[in-house]
Structures are given as C-alpha cells and as structure tokens.
C-alpha cells in the first residue's frame, strides 16, 4: 500500500516520474478515443465493412465499461501496479493486432482487447493518484490528468487525419506501441507499493454475471434504434436477458464473502450520489462530443478540423477548472463546489440549446468552453470526495464504480440522444443531408443535454455536505463516517 505524503506536486518532485507515467498511461486511452474517428473512411476503403464500422466504437466502449468495476476490485485485492501493467499489456497487444487487422470483423475483435486494456488503465491511474497524493494535492493532480484529454482532443484528430491522408491508417494503432512501452517501463521503474499479502477468494461468478449482464444492457442501449427498433423482439430480448442476469448478480453479491461490487457502494449516500453525478457528467460530455461536430459541419459546412477545434474548447475548459477546484472545495466543501460547477454547466448547455437555431461556430465554441469549466468543477470534487471517504483497500472499487457510472451515462446518453435525432431525421424528407433538418435535430439533442444537466443538479443537491477535512487528507462527511 502507498501512503500519501505532502512533497509538492509537479514533474520535478519526487513523485514527478510517477505522475508522468500516469499521464502517459491516461494518454493511451485519451488519444485512442479521438484518433480513430478521423481514419474511418480510410479504414473502410481498405478493408471494407462500411455497415459494421460503428462497432469499432461500440465494441471498445462495451469492453471498457463492463471491465472497469472488475479491475477496480482486483486493484484493491492484488494492488494497483499489476492491474495497470496488465491493462497496458492488453492495450499494447490489442493495438498491435489492430495494426495488422485484415478485415473489419477482425479489427472489431481486436478493438475489444484494446477496450479491456483501457478498462484497467484509466480508473487505476486515477486510483494511484488518489493513493499517493493528499486531499489538498489531488485537484491539481486531476488537472494534470485532465490536461492529457485536452491535448489529445487536438492531437488525436490531427494524427488521425495525417495518417489517413498518407494512406497508412494502421499507424493510428501502431503509434500506441512506443507509448505503451514507455508508460509500462516508467511505472515498473518508479512506482512501488507494499501490499499485505493475504488469501482472497476471487468472485469469478459475480464478475462473469456483471460482465455479461452489463454487456447486454449497454449493447441494447447502444444499438437500440440503430441496428434494430426499440420495440423489436431482439431489443426486448437483449434488455430482458441483461436485467435477469443483473438480478442474479445482485443475489450472488449478497452472499459472496468478497464481492466484486460490494453492496455498500450503493448503500452509502455519498458514494451513491457521486456515482449519479458521474452518470450525468458522462451523458452531457458524450452528448456534446457526438453532436457538436455534426451540427457545425452540417449546418455551416464547417471543415472537420474547425468543428473539432470548437469541440476541443470543451476539453480545454475541463482541466482549467479541475486544477483549480481544490481552492474551492477546501474552503467551501465538495458539494458547494459541485453546485457551482453544475450551475455553470447548465448555463453553458442552455446557451447552446437556445442559440442552436442560429448557428455560430464562435458561440458554439464559447458554450463548449463554459460547459467544460462547469464539468471540471463537478467531476473532480465529486470523485475526490468519494475517494477520500474510504481507505486504501476500498478506493479502487470506489474509483472504478465512479468511472463506470460515467461510462454508463455516456452509453445511455448516446442511445437517448440518438433516438431524439433519428426521430427528427426520419420525419423530414431531406434526412441527415438537409442543413435545416440537421439544425432541428441538433437543437433537440442540445435541449436533451440541457435536461440531463438539470437532472445532474438533483444528484448534486442530494450529495451529503462535507463537515471537515482531516490533516491526513481524507474527507469526512456527515454520512461517510457512519457508513450510511
């Protein structure tokens, strides 16, 4: 186990090499989330499979989302280091195989491997940061990690465009090889933890039921209204099977000595509300990420690069506010800080929704920047509040659950927003090729995102207030100490 100490935050501090390694590890996931989309036309032209290419994203997202809670629990059992190194190894293997894929089905299968690796890398990197940095330092560290996403939002699409224009789309996957090797080497060399080795019973049955049930539920949410109708037999069957298996998972977890997702994760008010907040953050984030570029390109004939840069304002605002959030929550508490953040988010999404009928790239970029500022003040304090309310042996599963909720929010958000947009496209003769129809559909989506932001306000209000901060850096709340 690694204990947090106050030694300063930055690359030149004693923990600097670990921070760099965590940023490199996070960068693997961040760049991959943006680099693939721009290369899709080149991929399809080379190996075919146009009708199947959406699975390049769905398969990756499914594998990442369902594996996060499992990795979170395992990191509490065997330690952070072996889990994050295993994740990097899986991501490396998946990247190499993607780079030599000979068909679209093969590429989709190898994307699953990448997703399984990403499911370990992102949450465990954040958990390690929670282990080695004190409460006062964590907001600044989260700013460093969030800045990786900001850089990736620009670097990813640019690299993807360059590789595509040169006719070497396989390079978008092979570029991960040196990054994986460097991140793994730095973690091996700089990060050390002392784990008290005790005999554990691995909850294989629970992990299997959770993985399969959530795969079916997320699959239904992602593909409903796209690959099949919401009221079709296959849609009903997928959701029903997922729900039944999840019910079986809940029953198993109540009787298992060491459950992969302990019941106390949802029974404690602080952890439950912060997970709900993370769900809302995921929905808002992916709603804008998915539809802002389409809106600008379709309504204003904006180039993909400019549309991407407008969206990048969202991921630029996030690290700015995330890095400064510590100044707020150390003075006024986690909940009040999150309330300020969600209020700013509502303002940003409201401006975007109300002005969408008169498209402007500058206004869209400004709105995205405001939303990013708000999300940074929501996501970071709520995550740190959840991490700080538990000890080392519970922090992995808490972090994993929080990020898992964000993935579920993204998946459900995509399904809901997609259904809203498709209903408008279907009712207009021009469909998704008519500029005015695109404006109408995007406006409806942005209104739905605004509703999601307003619902997140409810979760923030329900979050318990912070009563004090201990010198050791753990947050005590009015419910965390009693376990309610």
Number of CB atoms found within 10 A of residue 64's CB: 26
**What is the residue-averaged pLDDT of the chain?**
82
Q: Is the pLDDT of residue 470 over 50?
A: no
Contact predicate 351/451, CB 8 Å: no
What DSSP element (H or E) covers 52? none
Q: The domain 265-476 is classified under which CATH number: 1.10.3720.10, 3.40.640.10, 1.20.1250.20, 3.30.70.1150? A: 1.20.1250.20
Give tens-digit pLDDT for 4-40: 555 666 777 778 888 999 999 988 888 887 777 667 7
pLDDT of residue 476: 41
Q: Three-class SS of residue 451?
A: helix
- 130 vs 474, more confident: 130
Q: Is the pLDDT of residue 62 over 70?
A: yes
Q: How far apart are CA 290 and CA 410, in angstroms?
A: 10
Contact predicate 141/134, CB 8 Å: no
Q: Is the pLDDT of residue 323 over 60?
A: yes
Q: Is the pLDDT of residue 161 over 70?
A: yes
Number of CB atoms found within 10 A of residue 468's CB: 9
- 366 vs 163, more confident: 366
**What are the sequence ranges of the domains in the chain?**
1-190, 203-257, 265-476
Q: Fold match between 1-190 and 265-476?
A: yes
Give tens-digit pLDDT for 168-198: 889 889 989 999 999 999 999 888 877 666 6
pLDDT of residue 66: 80
Helices 392-426 and 435-462: crossing angle, nearest 10°?
Answer: 150
Contact predicate 98/177, CB 8 Å: no
Contact predicate 464/269, CB 8 Å: yes
Tokens of 190: 């700089």
Looking at residues 471-480, what average pLDDT do you find? 38
> Please, what is the end-to-end C-alpha distance for the chain in angstroms?
26
Q: Is the pLDDT of residue 370 over 90?
A: yes
Give, in degrees to the nearest 5, the angle at Cα 370 between 364 and 375.
120
Q: 248: pLDDT confidence band, cut at 50, 70 and 90?
A: very high
Q: How far apart are CA 102 and CA 240, in angstroms?
A: 35
Q: How far apart are CA 363 and CA 358, in angstroms?
A: 10
Superfamily of domain 1-190: MFS general substrate transporter like domains (1.20.1250.20)
- 159 vs 177, more confident: 177
């Amino acid at each position: 186990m690694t204990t947090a100490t106050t030694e300063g935050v930055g690359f030149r501090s004693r923990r600097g090499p670990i921070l760099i390694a965590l940023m490199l590890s996070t960068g693997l996931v961040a760049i991959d989330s943006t680099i693939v989309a721009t290369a899709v036309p080149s991929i399809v032209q080379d190996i075919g499979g146009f009708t199947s290419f959406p699975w390049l994203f769905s398969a990756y997202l499914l594998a990442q989302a369902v594996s996060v809670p499992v990795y979170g629990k395992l990191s509490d059992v065997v330690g952070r280091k072996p889990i994050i190194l295993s994740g990097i190894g899986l991501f490396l293997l998946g990247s190499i195989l993607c780079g030599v894929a000979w068909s679209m089905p093969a590429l989709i299968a190898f994307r699953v491997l990448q997703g399984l690796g990403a499911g370990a890398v992102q949450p465990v990197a954040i958990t390690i940061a929670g282990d080695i940095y004190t409460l006062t330092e964590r907001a600044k560290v989260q700013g460093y990690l969030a800045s990786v996403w900001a850089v990736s939002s620009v670097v990813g699409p640019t690299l993807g465009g360059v590789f595509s224009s040169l006719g070497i789309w396989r390079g978008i996957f092979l570029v991960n090889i040196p990054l994986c090797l460097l991140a793994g080497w730095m973690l091996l060399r700089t990060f050390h933890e002392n784990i008290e080795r005790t005999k554990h019973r691995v909850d294989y049955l629970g992990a299997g039921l959770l993985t399969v049930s959530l795969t079916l539920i997320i699959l239904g949410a992602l593909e409903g209204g796209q690959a099949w109708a919401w009221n079709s037999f296959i849609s009903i069957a997928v959701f029903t099977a997922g729900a039944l298996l999840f019910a079986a998972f809940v029953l198993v977890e109540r009787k298992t000595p060491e459950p992969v997702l302990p019941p106390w994760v949802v029974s404690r008010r602080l952890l439950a509300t912060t997970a709900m907040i993370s769900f809302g953050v995921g929905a808002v984030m992916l709603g804008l990420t998915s539809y802002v570029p389409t809106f600008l390109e379709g309504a204003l004939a904006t180039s993909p690069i400019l549309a991407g840069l407008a969206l990048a304002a969202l991921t630029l605002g996030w690290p700015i506010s995330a890095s400064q959030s510590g100044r707020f929550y150390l003075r006024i508490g986690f909940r009040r800080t999150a309330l300020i953040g969600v209020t700013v988010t509502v303002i940003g999404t409201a401006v975007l929704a109300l002005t969408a009928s008169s498209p402007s790239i500058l206004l869209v970029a400004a709105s995205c920047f405001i939303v990013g500022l708000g999300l940074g003040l929501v996501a970071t304090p709520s995550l740190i509040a959840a991490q700080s309310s538990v000890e080392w042996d519970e922090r992995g599963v808490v972090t994993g659950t929080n990020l898992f909720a964000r993935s579920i929010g993204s998946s459900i958000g995509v399904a809901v927003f997609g259904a809203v947009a498709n209903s408008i496209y279907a009712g207009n003769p021009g469909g998704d090729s008519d500029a005015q129809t695109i404006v109408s559909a995007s406006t409806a989506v942005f209104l739905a995102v605004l509703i999601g932001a307003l619902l997140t306000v409810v979760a923030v209000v329900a979050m318990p207030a912070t009563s004090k901060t201990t010198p050791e850096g753990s947050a005590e709340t009015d419910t965390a100490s009693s376990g309610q």
